[in-house]
Chain A
Amino acid sequence: QKEVEQNSGPLSVPEGAIASLNCTYSDRVSQSFFWYRQYSGKSPELIMSIYSNGDKEDGRFTAQLNKASQYVSLLIRDSQPSDSATYLCAVHTGNQFYFGTGTSLTVIP
């Protein structure tokens, strides 16, 4: 059973702070890693993808991957109330994607 683990939260941060979201995965041969944002009642929306060790930055978002530790993280800088959502970590292995249960983030104005 391939597993993707996330802290369910809820995580609360004040507006303007850095939000840190973490994800671990069990399958060492996993190839690609994705962070999705999901607003309540909506479908998942891609935020970041990362394929190799290290950091990848896109605007206020930074994804970090450490394959040796089987760990993926997402940093959100200058958090805004509009960032309040559930963040899903997805791991791509073979033909399938495995999702964590998500971390609920609330940004407090």
Chain B
Amino acid sequence: NAGVTQTPKFRILKIGQSMTLQCTQDMNHNYMYWYRQDPGMGLKLIYYSVGAGITDKGEVPNGYNVSRSTTEDFPLRLELAAPSQTSVYFCASRGGQVIGGQPQHFGDGTRLSIL
């Protein structure tokens, strides 16, 4: 049981390039989340999904896009990378209902540098 798997673990991009951060979970969780964590800061929600085909914006969605075509996969797309997007990106998933929610399970993260 792998849990939440993120790829790649590290990436360096040039300004203006695009890339997709991959996230896959094998726990059959409906809810999936993308966060970014800047040094010394907490996690900021970028996008989330409550099930296949349904996504919604979090606190900091600008510059990112997501899709959720299957229960397992929730890729995060960066278009026109900017230095402000240098961060560590975490994907998380959880099961259960909205009320009395289950905790999130996190992937190992992707360290992204934009130069």
The residues of B that contact A96 with a CB separation of less than 8 Å are 45, 48, 58
- Across the interface, do B48 and A95 meet the contact criterion of CB distance under 8 Å? yes
* Cα-based distance from A42 to B103 in the complex (angstroms): 18
CB interface residues, A 1-55, toward B, < 8 Å = 4, 8, 31-32, 34, 42-46, 49, 51
Stretch with Cβ within 8 A of B (4 or more), from A62-70, A71-79, A99-107: A99-107
Interface string of A82-103 (1 = CB under 8 A from B): 0000001010101111111110
Number of residue pairs spanning A and B whose beta carbons lie under 8 angstroms apart: 52
Interface string of B44-70 (1 = CB under 8 A from A): 110010100000101000000000000
Q: How far is the CB of A63 from chain B (nearest CB, A)?
A: 12
The residues of B that contact A45 with a CB separation of less than 8 Å are 106
Known: A34-B103, A88-B43. A95 touches B98 (CB 8 A): yes
Q: How many residues of A contact B (CB 8 A)?
A: 24
- Across the interface, do A43 and B106 meet the contact criterion of CB distance under 8 Å? yes
- Across the interface, do A99 and B33 meet the contact criterion of CB distance under 8 Å? no
Q: Tell me which of B40, B98, B107 contacts A94 (CB under 8 A).
A: B98
Q: Which of B45, B101, B106, B108 has the most CB of A within 10 A?
A: B101
The residues of B that contact A97 with a CB separation of less than 8 Å are 33, 45, 104
Known: A44-B43, A44-B90, A97-B33. A92 touches B106 (CB 8 A): no
Q: Which of A4, A32, A97, A100 has the most CB of B within 10 A?
A: A97
The residues of B that contact A102 with a CB separation of less than 8 Å are 41-42
Smallest CB gap from B106: residue in A: A43
Q: How far is the CB of A101 from chain B (nearest CB, A)?
A: 4
* Cα-based distance from A100 to B40 in the complex (angstroms): 11
CB interface residues, B 12-53, toward A, < 8 Å = 31, 33, 35, 40-45, 48, 50
